[in-house]
Structure 1
Amino acid sequence: MATTQQRIVPRYAHTAGRTSLAYSWDGKYLITVGSNEVIRKFTVGSEDEPVTIDDALGRNVAVAASNESFITCSESGTISLFSMATDTLKQLLVRCTLSSRDIALSPDGDWVAVASDETIVKVVNVEDNHKIMNLRSQSQSVKHVAFHPTGNYLAVSCVDGVIYIYSLSTEEPELVKKVDGIIKAVDAESEICSKVSWHPDGRAFAAQTPTRDIIVVDRAKWETHKAFASGHAGDITDFAWSPNGAFLASAGTDGKLVIWETEEQTIIAKYDYRHIVSLAWHPKHNSISFTTSRGELYTLPNAVPDDRAFRLKLTTRLAPLLNDSGPSTVLENRSMPPPPRKRASSVDSLDDILGGGIDDDLDDFIIDDDGAGYLEPKKNRKRGNEHLDPIVHGPKRPAYGMAMWSPEIHEPFQPGSTPWKGKRRYLCLNLIGFVWTVDQDTHHTVTVEFYDRDSYRDFHLADPYLYDKACLNESGTLFSCQPKDENPAAIFYRPHETWATRVDWRTSLPRGEEIVSIALSQSYIVVCTSRGYVRVFTLFGVPFRVYRQKHTPFVACASWRDYIFVMGNGAVGADGKTQLTYSIENVKRDETLQCSDVVALPPDGEAKNVFFSSDGDPVIYDSEGVLLVLARWRRRGEAKWIPLLDTKALDRLVGGRKEETYWPVAVAQNKFHCIILKGGEKHPYFPRPLLSEFDFKIPLSTNSIADSTTTTEGGATPAPNTDVLEETYVRESILLDLREELGVYTTTDEQGAMEMTKCVNAIDKALLQLLGLECQSEDYGPKALEICGLFRRKRTLELAIKVAVRFNQGVLAEKIGELRDRMEIEER
């Protein structure tokens, strides 16, 4: 099954951390909770901003909703009831002494079950919270709870890997079955899902096994039946049946969202979405909403492919048991819960929660599965598919999640790093050296090696923090790690040498922030976070500046001396993608040089790397293999991206002689330093690859690149052709402009002055040779004189006159003389 990805713009509902969601039964509202202690209420099909409810009592970890209300549970142990109509806190239902982990709402909306770090499960009446039942058979804390579709049973999943099934149809709740060996033991705070999900027909439930499969367990005999196998390469973080049980959706740590067909347990769609921790089917439409550990909310329209989506409109499907002849215990998929039923006044009994045992009035639970008509529908019985009417939008364009189109965003990356391959990856690759890490299962080991071992000493360290980003320069090495368990995100800096006793330092970021990209210069450390903040520190840990970037989410950042370069996602362009924007700041002077300007990318292009050149100019390398430099970036409104090299047009690739791509490393000494990748590789790997370098070559002409010289009349002395000379002129002019720009804002040393002189000489030499070729052509004319007007030095005009005379171009020589005289007058 091929993996696809529908480009969907996420809604940033909460800060990074555990984020959960629930639909109201009628599908009108979507409620999300997260780590920033607020509740968001989204109106499905509306473009309006969600309602923000600030009455949350702590960091909420789960939410359940009906049509009239929604209930949240928090790490502080509080279970709160909110009104759906007024968005206000109605009451505190119950408080646990330890952190609560999950809640479940009964099908009639009257009772809520609470899982917590306590060993007791509380079942609380929503209308009268003095009516509480305590389920006490567990020996360990509880991670998940789930009501049976009839409400007569409750499944409890404990952290020790044991499932407890309680009957709630008797006056005193009764432990029906203790199921061991299905789910694995997991920590209460783990993102790995160990819940039970009852199939809508009520005959079975599904649960994740230690082998990352989803197994079906028969409720009648408590035997395992069919399995949804081999869908994920990582642990499953959440799964859910479609409203009528025809499909199953699952998400895992492998970054896959998988849609299964229940009847055959086959995969019908697979999507690429990372960090999913909670998902839910829309009660009426063919869409799935899910939240991530980064606080993002996505809604995937047309989750089930069109050729199978009709099955969502059918009545409740049978659970995938080995013998499918048994009756279903639920009539059909409901978009509305059953009407409330009276119960006895006992505070410890669920006797009449749904009017009797699970097998009462069995005739009401026979379904016409194949449409043959053998079931005589009772009067006023609903078919159950009215809730699957097509989505009808108003005059406005479709809102989030219901839209058929969503803009595409630029994904973040850390310059110089590679993804995991095996258990190794590079955290940083540049001209100073390289940083690489190895996954040792319980921890990582990090190695920093240098090319110049006379000046620097390699080092190796154990990494319990699991650093995922690094920067390396002449001053030191910078690392960063993401939040883990109770530990917030942090950065760690280790200088190469210092006169002080303490040589390194570490600092944590505020809770709820993840690190998107980091940069290290000779003066400052830059950290871009998931909350849109740019945090700037001095090299020894003093917080220097903090501000929120205008365009987020971030893509990458780079730094050089006092300057920082930050890229982010901007407005949506004509091609349906967000524009990649950048800003440049001088943090020492608190001066903005370029603000939210657009990075020049080709159609469907992406930025593959960004860094400053050795001369201090921002450089990007795009997905088309083009290296671009940002010129005049110190002048507001004048910055422009100029191509220095098109690697697809290199001489070595002409005629298909080689098939290779290039991993950008640096720009220094007028050369592009990179790693050559062969055999379809996209990233460098181990053993450490060698660096290669290529001269700049401005893409100007479509003529043959290999034919770079011509032959003189004698046939012995090769000389550059017109294309080569024109490219030399343009290239050296660009390099001269960059150096002159640098010289205006910094002190030019002797080496810099010498480089500018070389550029001027190269420009005039190329133009003089072009003049010679033009004088030899039969149709020479104004172009020859135009070339003379481009000389950088007046004395070159004297040489130009000699060239014209040599080729018997007397009129041209006179014109050049007049041009020289005008220049002398202007200089006076």
Structure 2
Amino acid sequence: MKIDSKPLRYAHAEGHTDVCYTEDGKNIITCGHDGDVRIWLDIEDDDPTSHCVGESALAVCFKDKRLYVATDNHAVQAYTFPAFDKDGIVTRFTAPVTQIKSTCKIEALGCSSENMEAKICNLEGGAPLFVMSQHKGPVLSIAICPHMKYASTACGDGVMRIWDIDIQNTVKEITCVPKINTFYAAKTLCRMDFEPAEGKYLAYPNNREIVLLDCESWNQRMTFTHSLIKCALSQCLFSPCGQYIAGSTVAGQIAVWEVQTGTCLDIIEHPTSHNISAMAWNPKGNGVLAYCDVAGQLGTLVNCYGKDSRKIGADADAMDEIETVEREDDNDDIIDNLIGNDSDDENAISLEKIKNETLGLQTEQDESRPQSRVAPPSTAPPQPPFQPSSTPTHLEHRYMCWNDIGIVRCHSLENGESSIDVEFHDTNVHHGIHLNNYLNHTMASLSSTVLALACETPSKLVCISLVGSSKEWSVSLPDTEEILCVTAASGIVACATNARLLRLFTPMGTQRQVISLPGPVVCLAAYNTTVMAVYHKTEPGVSAQHLAMDIIAVNGRQVRCKTVPLPLTPSSKLSWLGTTDVGSPCAYDNTGILRLYDVASGVWMPICDTSNHSRGTSDSWFVVSVSEPTQTVRAILCRGTTFPLTAPKPIINELAIQIPLCELDSEKSQYEEQLVRWAHTTAEVDVKNARETALKLFALACRSEIEQRAIELMELLKDDRLLVLAAKYASRSGRIHLADKLSNLADAWEKEADKLNVAQNSHFQELDTQETYDVTSTEQDLNTSLIIPHKAKEKKIESIAPIKPVPIKSSPGGVRNPFRKQQETTKSVQSPLSLTDRTLVEVHSTDELAENTDPLKPLDGETFVDWFSRNKQTLEQQHPELTPSELTRQGVRMFKSIQTKTNSNETNGQKRKIDDVTEISDAPVTSAPKQSKLSAFAFQKKS
């Protein structure tokens, strides 16, 4: 029997209209854009009961003899039935409520709203049971499984999310929703539904078909479609027995399929082809389906089960029998008793066999085998690619990029036109730019030299040079590639594609390099000529993304790469990637933790927890830039959202960088935090203030009667001037033994430094003639070539006579001054592994250098390492044509030549002439067999 359609009835004013049934199936309840709720006895009721609830009502739901209506004050209001008296407010939102959903087996309501949130609420109100707040657009619909284990939401950001209610997190994300920025502009509502009996399956519309998912593995079981369906399906709904499913299109078509066989029973055309806004099955199971359209009309379909709805409704026992026979695995024994077990007879008709073949279930032979039914752990969905410092692409007015250079905005109109505005923070860099977005660019990156724009389809990279005459260049990618991420810096432009390729360009358009990435890209960032690419290292875990970052440095013809893992907070995603103003990589996740990668030490450090600066739990911070010299993070406070609005223009706040040490409210931890932060970041810190902070920490250890901690602090800092001040403080405070230990500590440093210099000097002399040896190839230089420029500050040599504390001896004649300057001068000790090497070494010039008229003359007791560091810049100016290796060998020969000549002059009682040294130092070093004056002092290779 074909499905029959009853004539449409006027129900409400034009606009979104919702419909539901009472639990006994005797009444139809509708609400509409006019703010009225009407109760119908039947489709033929000419005088329905009408109640006004406000200016508009978008959703209605009947549950346990109560009526729940979404009113215009963004609340879910409860009413008694049939008296229709107010019975409390279940929950509130900050935007209109889009749907209210419940099932007969659960005691809760599922509510979705345009404020990018969905809630599962108690029927009596109070705090919600579960708040789903990770959406990036208006939530269009919600569905809850009968056992309250899973929930599903469809969002205007294009993603349908499946949530595990127990762990309150997403288990799967499916891209199947057309992107919109408001509920009222949505044509496809993506109304999904769980199978009502056991919740084994989830059905959702995807274009012109309905997809059925298995709720255990979340794999696709089957699809429902038909050749007569003209356009996209908007919603789907299981029948009360779970054996039929109905779907509606945006053009008014309604189709009904049988779930077991996938057969389409019939397709009904809407008389005026209006979009169907809501559907509801009659709970009696009589095959009656009520629906409403966007024109405010109400209609019903009968015989939707392929049988006469009147006969089904008249005989309740027959209805129960049909529901019993058509249920799934729970009633298999009843079916076997009714028709017998005829599986051995090949000519017999077996309902069990037909059901197994249709749904792909296990056969009887398979069921006889012992099998483990352990469900595999669900993994977090992989994070899709995104642009740092950008807002969602479905917004009409959005930020494409916001960094320390400027702001790139995109404005889209309803007619499809789009434009891009570029605003620079410093107008001296460039004037503002206005572009017509003909290619519908969705990605942008801005630097001081270039503006990079890109779009997925057609995959084309367009760059506008900001230097000179603002020339524009573009490049089209192969047809098989689509751009996913783009970044630009002052010396490079890069884009990552879906083919896992990283393409590098110069700012003027020269193709520089093509690099294969080990995994799917997540985002890109750049600084000068260095690109940082973040990608999925492996598949995501149960609650974490496994990301890694490649630091790719381009220097001339050379390309170098360093791979580091990217840490994230558990159950979080990467929200922003960038660098500080001196080039240190930084990463920010959606839990509010900002981390900085210290290139010198190769570790990630948390430097700011933005959640400590938020007032509300739903507030978040939109990071713009990070400054190491000022120790601040520039960010925008977003109240209730994850991104800022374009109008009005938001205000940038400065958050202080702080290492999260323990007990930061104590004075000791505050001083420790300052020393650690200054040691690992390039901060504008005065050496005097740094030493003062370290001395305060030393004083706290002395006051706490922990002298060993005070000595440990001095050994950690290794600063001779600070050691003198610490010894003076210990002596004045009466800690004589501590002052003695500090004096011995200075002597130990001097002996260790002398041994180290002797070993290094002999090592250099032994490797003098090796062609491949380069003295500049230290670990620090390697890091410098990876991140350009390196954060370490250039330090001059401190070579003054420090005040050396001596043990205090008892003097009966009076008090001695233990800090009197000694007669013999000692060389300053400076450890290359010092913790505060950047902050606690003061820059001074020496009197000995001033007295020495020859800058190349070695000082008394000076080793080659110290001499070469002091005169390296002079040697580079004298020999610009030499490579670092050749310059090192030249320096070794010159150092030995000067030492030999000095010793010879002292032996003959003559002074060394400056002209001779200048003549020697100016002698070029070439590979020709011609001997120079330094060849007599060079080491010969052993044959």
595, 620, 631: which one aligns with 1:671? 631
Shift of 1:254: 3.6
- The Cα shift of 1:674 comes to 2.7
Q: Distance in 1 between matches of 2:154 and 2:603?
A: 47
Structure 2 distance, partners of 1:559, 1:661, is: 25
Matched, 1:607 2:597: no
Displacement, 1:678? Answer: 4.5
Judge conservation of contact 1:671–1:693 (CA < 8 Å) in 2: no
- Find the counterpart in structure 2 of residue 324 from structure 1: 302
Show the counterpart of 1:568: 535
Q: Does 1:584 align with 2:551?
A: yes
Which secondary structure does the structure 2 equivalent of 1:410 belong to? coil
Alpha-carbon distance in 1 for matches of 2:742, 2:706: 14
Q: Secondary structure at the match of 2:716?
A: coil
Q: Shift in Å at residue 599 of structure 1?
A: 0.6
- How far apart are the structure 1 equivalents of 2:463 and 2:264? 58
Matched, 1:643 2:606: yes
Q: Which residue of 2 aligns with 1:138?
A: none
Match of 2:390 among 407, 414, 417: 417
Q: CA deviation at 1:262?
A: 10
Q: How many residues align?
A: 487
- For residues 58-457 of structure 1, the aligned pairs below 5 Å read 251-254=176-179, 258-260=191-193, 281=212, 287-288=219-220, 322=300, 324-325=302-303, 328=306, 369-370=322-323, 380-383=348-351, 384-387=354-357, 388=359, 390=361, 405-420=378-393, 422-440=395-413, 441-457=415-431
1:532-576 CA-partner distances (Å, limit 9, x unpaired): 11111111112111122112x110011112211111111246646
Residue aligned with 1:586, SS = strand
Q: CA deviation at 1:673?
A: 3.2
Q: Which residue of 2 aligns with 1:529?
A: 497
> Contact conserved, 2:196 with 2:238, CA < 8 A, in 1?
no
Equivalents in 1 of 2:159, 2:535: separation in Å? 31
Contact 2:664–2:670 (Cα < 8 Å) also in 1: no
Evaluate the alpha carbon distance shift between residue 498 and residue 604 of structure 1 in structure 2; reply closer, same or farther with a 3 A threshold. same
Distance 2:622 2:154 in 1: 33
Cα deviation per residue 1:155-179 (whole Å; 9 max; x = unaligned)?
Answer: xxxxxxxxxxxxxxxxxxxxxxxxx
1:688 is aligned, of 649, 667, 671, to: 649
Distance 1:775 1:262 in 2: 71
Higher strand fraction (1 or 2): 1
- In structure 2, C-alpha distance between the alignment counterparts of 1:660 and 1:456, rounded to whole Å: 34
* Structure 1 residue runs without a partner (length 5+): 1-211, 214-229, 238-248, 292-302, 330-366, 709-720, 740-754
- Looking at structure 1, the residues matched to 324 and 677 of structure 2 have their Cα atoms a distance apart, in angstroms, of 75
Q: CA deviation at 1:443?
A: 1.9
Q: Contact 1:763–1:792 at 8 Å: present in 2 too?
A: no
Match of 1:722 among 658, 668, 673: 668
Q: Kindly indicate whether residue 522 of structure 2 is the aligned counterpart of residue 555 of structure 1.
A: yes
Distance, in Å, in 1 between the alignment partners of 2:385 and 2:617 is 31
Corresponding residue number in structure 2 for 1:773: 700
Residues 180-236 of structure 1: per-residue CA shift (max 9 Å, x gap) = xxxxxxxxxxxxxxxxxxxxxxxxxxxxxxxx99xxxxxxxxxxxxxxxx9896999
The correspondence for 1:496, drawn from 429, 443, 466, is 466
1:437–1:447 CA contact under 8 A, matched in 2: yes
Quick check: 2:553–2:559 contact (8 Å CA) kept in 1? yes
Distance 1:521 1:498 in 2: 17
Secondary structure (helix, strand or coil) at the match of 1:811 reads: helix
CA distance in structure 2 between the partners assigned to 1:535 and 1:642 by the alignment = 30
Matched AA of 1:494 = I
Tell me how far 1:639 sits from its aligned partner.
Answer: 2.4
Show the counterpart of 1:542: 510
Q: Decide which structure has greater helix share.
A: 2
2:448 is aligned to 474
Structure number with greater Rg is 2
SS in structure 2 at match of 1:587: strand
Specify the code of the residue in structure 1 equivalent to 2:463: Y
The residue type equivalent to 1:811 in the other structure is H
Q: What percentage of residue pairs aligned between the two structures are identical?
A: 22
Distance 1:451 1:403 in 2: 52
**Partner SS for 1:536:** strand
Deviation at 1:418, TM superposition (A): 0.9
Give the C-alpha shift of residue 372 in structure 1.
Answer: 7.5
Give CA-to-partner distance per residue, 1:215-270, whole Å, 9 cap, x none: xxxxxxxxxxxxxxx98969999xxxxxxxxxxx9943149864347999x9x968
CA distance in 1, matches of 2:324, 2:620: 58
User: For residues 787 and 279 of structure 1, do their structure 2 counterparts lie closer, same or farther at Cα, with a shift above 3 Å needed?
Assistant: same
Structure 2: which amino acid aligns with 1:598?
P
Pair 1:270–1:674, CA change in 2 (3 A): farther
- The letter of the residue matching 1:412 is P
Equivalent position SS for 2:537: strand
Give me the whole-angstrom Cα distance separating, in 1, the residues matched to 2:239 and 2:602. 47
2:479 matches 1:511: yes
CA distance in 2, matches of 1:797, 1:776: 17
Cα distance in 1 between the residues matched to 2:700 and 2:599: 33
Separation in 1 of the partners of 2:568 and 2:421?
Answer: 35
Q: 1:661 is matched with which residue?
A: 620
| C-alpha contact 2:535 2:548 (8 A) present in aligned 1 | yes
Query: Could you tell me whether the CA contact under 8 Å between 1:764 and 1:793 is conserved in 2?
Result: no
Distance 1:722 1:277, change over 3 A: farther
Residue identity opposite 2:528 in structure 1: R
Offset of residue 504 of structure 1: 0.9
The residue identity in structure 2 corresponding to 1:673 is: V
Residues 554 and 231 (structure 1), Cα distance of their counterparts in 2 relative to 1, 3 Å cut: closer
1:701 aligns with 2:662: yes
Q: What is residue 598 of structure 1 aligned with on the other side?
A: 565
- Call closer, same or farther: CA 1:305–1:564 in 2, change over 3 Å: farther
Deviation at 1:605, TM superposition (A): 2.2
- CA distance change for structure 1 residues 543 and 380 in 2, over 3 Å: closer, same or farther? same
Q: CA-to-partner distance for each residue in 1:2-39, whole Å, 9 max, x for gaps? A: xxxxxxxxxxxxxxxxxxxxxxxxxxxxxxxxxxxxxx
Inter-partner Cα distance in structure 1 for 2:157 and 2:722: 69
SS of structure 1 residue aligned to 2:700: helix
Paired residue secondary structure (2:445): strand
Q: Any conservation in 1 of the 2:202–2:214 contact (CA below 8 Å)?
A: no
Q: CA deviation at 1:772?
A: 1.4
Aligned partners of 2:711 and 2:742 also within 8 Å: yes
Pairwise CA distance, 1:761: 4.5
2:533 counterpart SS class: strand
* Partner amino acid, structure 2, of 1:664: V
Q: Secondary structure at the match of 1:556?
A: strand
Paired residue type of 1:774: A
Task: State the shift of 1:380 in Å.
Answer: 3.6
| Residue 445 to residue 598, structure 1, CA distance change in 2 (3 Å) | same
d(CA) in 1 for partners of 2:175, 2:587: 38
1:42-57 map, 5 Å? none
Paired residues of 1:632 and 1:639 also in contact (CA < 8 A): yes
Once superposed, what is the RMSD of the aligned Cα atoms? 4.7
SS of the equivalent of 1:252 reads coil
Alignment correspondent of 1:19: none
SS in 1 for 2:562: strand
Cα distance change, pair 283–454 in 1 and its aligned pair in 2 (3 A): closer
Q: Is the 8 A contact 2:461 2:476 kept in 1?
A: yes
Residues 556 and 813 (structure 1), Cα distance of their counterparts in 2 relative to 1, 3 Å cut: same
